[in-house]
Amino acid sequence: MRTLFTCAIALPFLAACGETPDPDLDLGEPAAEGVAPGQETPAGPPAHVMLPLQPVEGSGVQGDAMLMQEDGSMLVMLDVSGLPGEGEFPAHVHEGTCAEGGPVAEPLSPVSATQDGSGTSTTTLALDVLDWGQPLFVQVHAEDGAPAACGDVVQ
């Protein structure tokens, strides 16, 4: 009786008990190549993400970053305020999170700020230049390269 019960719950292993599983039975999709069963498949690029850029260490710099797929590429638009004045401020996509930091994954066009400290940047990236399966964050830097505003890319 115990053997019969074990075989009944172990549907994928019924062949080992002398039974043939129903060929029309849907056992789900096989795991993606290189991914163990039960693990998530790597994430692809988001279709559209809006993320807030928060001030880093009291910089007062904040804003929004929008990532949007367009014509087979990724458009990254930054809208920032609180910069110290007119100028060009570096921006990047980094590997990791704002809390932990991480290396630059891809440079973005610098934020071009006006005298009032507000600025924008627009960059077009190829979809495959970033590893979308790992944590990423967008960061705007001060003129000296120190982090000024940061936002995690959440899909």
Taking only the tens place, the pLDDT of each residue in 128-150 is: 999 999 999 999 999 899 999 99
Q: Where are the domains of the chain?
A: 48-152
Burial class (CB in 10 A: 0-12, 13-18, 19+), 4: exposed
Give domain 48-152's CATH number out of 3.40.309.10, 3.40.50.300, 3.40.50.2000, 2.60.40.200.
Answer: 2.60.40.200
In tens, the pLDDT along 18-54 reads 444 444 444 444 433 433 444 444 567 888 899 999 9
Give the CA radius of gyration of the chain: 24
Q: What is Dmax (Cα atoms) for the chain? A: 82
Identity of the residue numbered 77: M
Q: What span, in angstroms and rounded, lies between the C-alpha atoms of 104 and 102? A: 7
pLDDT tens by residue, 84-121: 999 999 999 999 999 999 999 999 999 999 999 999 99
